[in-house]
Structure formats: C-alpha cells, structure tokens
C-alpha cells in the first residue's frame, strides 16, 4: 500500500527530530560555498594582493587552495590564508576559519575553536556565522547546549534574511524549544526561508499545508511547495510530491508523475520512495508491471532497514512474485520488519509460525506475534488472536478473551471477526447468548459481501432467531451467499425452492441448486439430490441409479440421512442389485449416529433376520433407541415387543406406555393396540369408553382392525350406545379393505335386516 502524504501525527515532529539529530552530528552546519565567496581571479594576481595584506584576496586565495583551483589543493594552505584574514578582523575569514576547525580540514578538528571563530564573526553581525553558532548551541558542540542561545543567534541571522537561520528558527517554534510552541510562528519563518528558495524550508512548508498546521489545510498549496523543493533535488519533497500524484491530493491523480518523483527520490537513496516505487512496479501503476523491478526497489529500501519495504519483500517471497517463492526468505524479512514494530509484518510472522512456513511450527510463537500486532490495533491480528483464544491454540482456551479481541477487530469493520463475534453471541460463548446481537454482527459482515455471514443471516431469518421469521429474507441472504458458490447456502436455497418457502415452489430450481452444492461435495445437498432423483422431482425422469450415486457420495462423508436412504435402496434393490448385507451395513452406520429412522429399520432387520441373524433382543434395543427419540413406529413396535415378551421381559404396563406415546403422535397401529389394551384391561384399567376413543382415532385413519373393533363396540353397545347402523358402517369400511371377519359379520347383519 502506498504511503499517504497526510497521516501524520508527528510528521513534522519527526522531520525536525531528524533534522536536529543531523545538526547534532555536525552534518548540517553551513559549509561556505568557496566558488561564490568572491569573483574568481587569476591565482597569481590573487596571491600578489593577498601578500599585500588584502583581506578579501587572502580569503579568495584560501578558497582557491581549499578547492584546488589554479593550484594544488591544500587545506593547510587554505587555513593559513583564512587565519591571516581573520586576524585582521575580517568576518568572512573568521567564519571560514570556524568552518575549517568544525570540519577538521587543515587543522585538528575542534568544535571549541570552531565556536570561538564563529562567535567572533557573529558578534560583528555576520549572518552565516550567527546561523552556525546557533547550530552549535542547539547541538551542544563546542559550547554547552543552550536552546535559548541557539534561538537568539538564529533570530539575529533570520532578521538579516539568512534563509537557513529562518528555517531553523521556524523549527524551534514548531518544537517549542526555548520559545512558546507556535505553529503559526513556525510557518511565518518557514515561509521566509522558502521564498528565498531554501529547499528544506519549502518541503517543510509543504508538510505544514498538507497537515493543516499553522495554516488552513491546503493540498494544492502543499503540492506547490513540495514541487519547488523537489525541483531542487530535495529527496523528501520528491517523495511527498510523488505521493500527492499517486493519491490525487492537491494535483490531478497521475501515476506516471508519481513514478517520476518517486524515482528521483529513490535514486538518492530515499527508502520510503524506494518502497513506494516498488509498489508502483508491483501494481503496474504509472509503469509497466514488473515484479522483478518491484523486488529490486523493495530490496534497496529493505537493506536500509525500512520496515515497510522489508514486509513487502517478505510478501514477494511469500507469494513467489519476482523471486523464487521461499518461505524461509519470507519469514526472514517479515521478522526484520516485525522486530521494528510493523504490525502487518508481526501478523504475517504469526501466520508463518501458525502454519510452520519458513520456521518450525509453533502456536505459542504465533500467538506472541499476533499479540504484538493486535495491541497496535491491527484488525487482522486481533481476529487471528481472537480465533486462537476461541479454540485454545497456543493459548489456554478462553471464550471471554476471544470475544474481547474479536470485538476489537469487528468494530474496525473486519468481516471475519464480525462473523465470528456473531457466532459467539448466537451460541453464548464468552458472552450471554443473544440472537439479536448475533444478527447485528452477521448483518455488518454480510453487507460487506461476505458469503459466510450472508448464509448465517439467512439462517437466522429462516428460523426466526433474533429477527422476525421471514422466508423471503432468508431466501434473499441465502441467494447472495449461494451466488458466491457457498455450498451450504446453495443447498439451503434449494430446500427453499423445494418447499416453496419465500419463493415460488420449483423442484427444477431446487435440483439446480442442489446440483451446484453437491458437486462441491456438500453432503446434505448430495443427499437432497439423491432424494429428488429417487422421487422423480425436478429431474427429467425418476432415476434410482442416479439417486444411489448421490446417496453414496453423501453416505461416504458420514451423512446419516443418506446412509439410511442407501441402506433402504439396498434392501429394496432399487438402483442396484438387492443386497441385505449392504443394507444392514449402511443402516447401521446411520443408526450408530443416532438416526432414528435408521434405528427403527435396523430393529426391523434384527426382528426379521434380514441381512443379520434374527435376534429379538437386538431388535428391541434398536427400537428403543429410536423410540426414545420419539419415532412413533419404533414406539409401536417396542410396545408390541413388550406385549408379546419378544426380546424383553413381557410387560403389559410397559407395552401400554409405548403404545400411548405413539398413539398421541397419531400412529394408527398404536392407537389400535392401546384401544385393545383398554378393552382387555391389559397394562391399564379396563375402560370401554377409552377403548372406543382410541379405536375411533385409528379407524378414521383407515386401520381395518380398528374399524372392525369399533363396529363390534357399536354392535355390542360397549363404551357407546348400541347402534347397528353405526356398527355396519364400520364393518363395511373394514370389509372393503378385505377384512374377512368384517365381511362375514356384515353379511349376517345385512341378511338379518332383510328378513
């Protein structure tokens, strides 16, 4: 990412801190420009005048020796002639001599001697000497460090129009060193120096406009001053002007111009410019895209210790761009940047440790680096750290801690963190369970276009959790996620079409969505698709073989519904040759997962000796498992096992209890058996009226035996008022279903009525 010009807490403070550090090291004191001290003359002519005690000629002659012009270069000779002029009280000579002592040229280096000679010239009003003396006081070289003295000498020179002094005086106001801090006063002095063409002042004035310090923020004005300094070769200004063009701040956005200025600064060794130039090459902005060029510039900056370049170079190795992909190299550069505190690099180094890429896998080390980045507010690291706490990898599992870090990232708009925070609220992990809060976080992530939270939000609408139930809204969000190829969403959207919920019912649409999810390996969709083929819904023609194919794919992934269905297909020989052993195998897999229907079917296989040795005890065991899950048919069969003492100790009370559970769910056979228990007083207190009630419920569902018994109750007047017409009606229903006893009794009753 390109570095913005704006952004700077402390941009100027950093600028001046660096400037003053350089000043403290002696690198920025005014060096006399020997070429322009005086009009250059013929060496011999100058020498004759100098020997006649002409101070100006003595200075010119010293300059000629210092620069080796017309004579062999000799600092010692230069010092001799500067000293002669200085002895006459010439301020230029004193200043020159001060600089020679400061630089250690022709004399033994001595800050104290330098300061002494600068002072002599400064006290005579020589502006350059006043500036340099101010610098000596600011840095404490040759004199005791004293900002008050520094400001005093800077001001004297600045008021004479000396540009460098104006620049440094502005810096003292900006930093509040021995004067009251004042951005406005700083700007005033920067401007004076800038208007004289002082490049550092022009650059700094540009920063003041870019950041709105001491002046109203004005990108166009900032760009103007950056340009003035940049055109003088000031590298930082070139870098910032490049940034203005790259971002379109204060100038029309122009990547080619950005590259031009970045390159100028980069070629001077400016690391930030080298970094950004690398990024321009990597992204193909303003230049032909070239990963190799990007790597070259990143490396130059990285080798200077630029953290962002080190991170970017690590990224290039991580992704094999412009270099041969190398995890060890990537980790090495990430580490260099991470150790400088760059949060992105710390996070990536954490990832390397988490995955064992380029370093030995180490979850604890991963967590340490995530922590460092997370504490700087880096959202991706906060998410990674939160996830680690949620699963207990590299740290002790701690849902509350997980929620804390996920929330920090989520509040910065990190979609994965928002999704996971929603999950924590939905499941009451680390926070009180709160579906409405879960929905809020899912929605934030979903609105950013992420498929997982879109699915989650659809599910919440589907089930009416945290929101009013809405099939239409569920479909909307399922569709968004499905269109991003999220298989679970494609499956659920298929279900909505199949069931006509929130959309017009369409088996064809359902099959299309099931197919998309099934082909991605989604087991539930594979099962659903198998069911559609088995039933001939939404497909051209019913196809058992195709059903078996999809059931098998799901079953092999452990989907219990599909295992149960596949077992049934083997048992019936649908879509394949009948195979009881395979039927048992797949039915058992589903049953062992707690699939109630499969448990019921497996019970039936043991009861009938189908594919297994007949075993009533095993049958009863599997019926019980299904019955305890509320499977009505299993409850009925378990009741029958107790009634007959098959596989269990005979127990009419237990039988009646299981018949009642199934009967209350509307299971007709159980209703008949429960009615029979009441009629005979088996396991319950005998009660004809209760017997009639349960016979009637079963009879109305078409159970022939219940219809016969209900007719018998009416014929005998047991539990109801005797009513032959009603009795005949129920006998007729049973007879029409082929019940022989009903047919016989009905014929006798009809014959009696005809006599």
User: DSSP labels for 403-440?
Assistant: HHHHHHHHTTT-HHHHHHHHHHHHHTSSS---HHHHHH
Average pLDDT over the chain, rounded to whole? Answer: 94
CA distance 679 to 696: 13
Q: Which two tokens stand for residue 692?
A: 């009639």
- Helix residue ranges, H only, 52-162: 55-67, 75-87, 91-103, 111-123, 127-139, 147-159
**Per-residue three-class SS string for 257-298:** HHHHHHHHHHHCCCHHHHHHHHHHHHHCCCCCCCHHHHHHHH
pLDDT class of 6 with cuts at 50, 70, 90: very low
Angstrom distances, CA of residue 208 to CA of 16, 205, 569:
12, 5, 80
Percent of the chain with pLDDT over 70: 95
Q: Pick the closest to residue 475 from 455, 493, 489 (CA basis).
A: 493
Q: Which two tokens stand for residue 401?
A: 């801690």
Query: Cα dihedral angle (580, 581, 585, 591), rounded to 10 degrees?
Result: 40
Q: Which two tokens stand for residue 83?
A: 């000293």
- pLDDT confidence of residue 32: 58
pLDDT in tens, 357-370: 999 999 999 999 99
pLDDT in tens, 420-443: 999 999 999 999 999 999 999 999
Q: Say which range, 64-68, 231-235, 636-640, has the weakest mean pLDDT.
A: 64-68
Under DSSP, the state recorded for 2 is P
Asked if residues 727 and 715 have their Cβ atoms less than 8 Å apart, the reply is: yes
- pLDDT confidence of residue 754: 83
Q: What angle do CA 626, 628, 629 make, to 5 degrees?
A: 65
Asked if residues 727 and 712 have their Cβ atoms less than 8 Å apart, the reply is: yes
pLDDT in tens, 646-689: 999 999 999 999 999 999 999 999 999 999 999 999 999 999 99
The residues, ordered by sequence, that sit 6+ positions from 723 with a Cβ below 8 Å of its Cβ are 714, 717
Q: How far is CA 121 from the centre of its chain?
A: 64
Q: Pick the closest to residue 710 from 690, 696, 724 (CA basis).
A: 696
In the predicted structure, residue 13 carries a pLDDT above the cut 50: no
The residues, ordered by sequence, that sit 6+ positions from 683 with a Cβ below 8 Å of its Cβ are 643, 651, 652, 653, 654, 655, 656, 657, 677
CA distance 223 to 253: 12
CA distance 141 to 82: 22
Helix (H, G, I), strand (E, B), or coil: what is residue 639? Answer: helix
In the predicted structure, residue 14 carries a pLDDT above the cut 80: no
Instruction: Let me know if 159 is exposed, middle or buried by CB neighbors in 10 A (0-12, 13-18, 19+).
Output: middle
- pLDDT confidence of residue 41: 62
- pLDDT confidence of residue 753: 84
pLDDT in tens, 513-525: 999 999 999 999 9
Query: What's the whole-number mean pLDDT along residues 718-740?
Result: 97
In the predicted structure, residue 130 carries a pLDDT above the cut 80: yes
pLDDT class of 9 with cuts at 50, 70, 90: very low
- pLDDT confidence of residue 50: 92
Instruction: Let me know if 396 is exposed, middle or buried by CB neighbors in 10 A (0-12, 13-18, 19+).
Output: exposed
Neighbours of 717 (CB within 10 A): 13
Q: Which two tokens stand for residue 261?
A: 């200025």
CA distance 238 to 263: 9
Q: Pick the closest to residue 332 from 314, 350, 354, 305 (CA basis).
A: 314
Phi, psi of 193 (to 5 degrees): -70, -40
In the predicted structure, residue 325 carries a pLDDT above the cut 50: yes
CA distance 646 to 634: 14
Q: Is 322 left (phi over 0), alpha (psi -120 to 50) or beta?
A: left
Helix (H, G, I), strand (E, B), or coil: what is residue 462? Answer: helix
**What's the pTM value of the predicted model, to 2 decimals?**
0.82
Q: Pick the closest to residue 394 from 368, 416, 424, 356 (CA basis).
A: 368
């Amino acid at each position: 990412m390109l570095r913005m010009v704006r952004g700077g807490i402390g941009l100027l403070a950093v600028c001046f801190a660096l400037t003053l550090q350089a000043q403290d090291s002696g690198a920025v004191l005014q060096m006399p420009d020997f070429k322009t001290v005086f009009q250059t003359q013929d060496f011999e002519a100058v020498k004759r005048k100098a020997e006649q005690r002409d101070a100006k000629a003595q200075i010119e002659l010293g300059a000629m020796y210092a620069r080796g012009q017309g004579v062999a270069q000799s600092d010692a000779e230069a010092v001799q002639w500067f000293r002669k002029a200085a002895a006459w009280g010439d301020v230029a000579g004193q200043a020159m001599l001060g600089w020679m002592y400061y630089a250690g040229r022709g004399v033994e280096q001595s800050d104290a001697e330098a300061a002494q000679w600068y002072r002599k010239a400064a006290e005579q009003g020589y502006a350059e000497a006043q500036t340099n003396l101010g610098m000596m006081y600011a840095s404490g070289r040759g004199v005791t460090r004293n900002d008050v003295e520094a400001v005093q000498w800077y001001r004297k020179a600045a008021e004479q129009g000396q540009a460098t002094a104006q620049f440094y005086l502005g810096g003292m106001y900006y930093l509040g060193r021995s004067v009251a801090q004042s951005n406005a006063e700083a700007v005033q002095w920067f401007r004076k120096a800038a208007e004289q063409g002082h490049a550092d002042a022009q650059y700094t004035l540009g920063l003041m406009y870019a950041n709105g310090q001491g002046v109203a923020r004005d990108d166009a004005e900032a760009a103007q001053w950056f340009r003035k300094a940049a055109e003088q070769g000031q590298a930082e200004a070139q870098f910032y002007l490049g940034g203005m063009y790259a971002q379109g701040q204060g100038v029309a956005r122009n990547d080619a111009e950005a590259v031009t200025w970045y390159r100028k600064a980069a070629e001077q060794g400016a690391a930030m410019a080298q970094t950004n130039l690398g990024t321009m090459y990597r992204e193909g902005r303003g230049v032909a895209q070239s990963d190799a060029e990007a790597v070259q510039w990143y490396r130059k900056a990285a080798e200077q210790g630029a953290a962002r370049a080190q991170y970017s170079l690590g990224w290039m190795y991580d992704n094999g761009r412009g270099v041969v992909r190398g995890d060890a190299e990537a980790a090495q550069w990430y580490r260099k940047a991470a150790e400088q505190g760059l949060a992105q690099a710390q996070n990536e180094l954490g990832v390397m440790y988490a995955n064992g890429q380029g370093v030995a896998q180490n979850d604890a080390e991963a967590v340490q680096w995530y922590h460092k980045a997370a504490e700087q507010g880096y959202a991706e690291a906060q998410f990674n750290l939160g996830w680690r706490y949620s699963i207990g990898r590299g740290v002790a599992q701690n849902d509350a801690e997980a929620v804390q870090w996920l929330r920090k990232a989520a509040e910065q708009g990190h979609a994965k963190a928002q999704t996971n925070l929603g999950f924590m609220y939905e499941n009451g992990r680390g926070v009180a369970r709160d579906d409405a809060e879960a929905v809020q976080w899912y929605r934030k992530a979903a609105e950013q276009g992420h498929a997982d939270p879109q699915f989650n939000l659809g599910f919440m609408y589907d089930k009416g959790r945290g929101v009013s139930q809405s099939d239409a809204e569920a479909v909307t969000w399922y569709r968004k996620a499905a269109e991003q190829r999220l298989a679970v969403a494609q499956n659920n959207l298929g279900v909505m079409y199949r069931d006509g919920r929130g959309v017009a019912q369409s088996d064809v649409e359902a099959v299309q969505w099931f197919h998309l999810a099934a082909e991605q390996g989604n087991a539930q969709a594979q099962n659903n698709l198998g069911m559609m083929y088995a039933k001939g819904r939404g497909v051209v023609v019913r196809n058992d073989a195709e059903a078996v194919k999809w059931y098998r794919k799901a079953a092999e992934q452990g989907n219990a519904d599909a295992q149960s269905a596949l077992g049934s297909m083997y048992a019936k020989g649908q879509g394949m040759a009948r195979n009881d052993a395979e039927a048992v195998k797949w039915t058992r897999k589903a049953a062992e997962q707690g699939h109630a229907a499969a448990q019921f079917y497996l019970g039936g296989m043991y009861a009938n000796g189908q594919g297994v040795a007949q075993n009533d005890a095993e049958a009863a065991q599997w019926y019980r498992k299904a019955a305890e899950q509320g499977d009505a048919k299993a409850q009925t069969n378990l009741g029958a096992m107790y009634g007959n003492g098959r596989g269990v100790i005979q127990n009419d009370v237990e039988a009646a209890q299981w018949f009642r559970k199934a009967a209350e769910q509307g299971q007709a056979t159980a209703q008949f058996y429960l009615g029979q228990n009441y009629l005979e007083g088996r396991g319950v207190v005998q009660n004809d009226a209760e017997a009639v009630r349960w016979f009637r419920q079963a009879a109305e569902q078409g159970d022939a035996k219940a219809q016969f018994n209900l007719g018998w109750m009416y014929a005998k007047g047991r539990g109801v008022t005797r009513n032959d017409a009603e009795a005949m009606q129920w006998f007729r229903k049973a007879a029409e279903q082929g019940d022989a006893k009903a047919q016989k009794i009905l014929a006798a009753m009809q014959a009696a009525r005809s006599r």
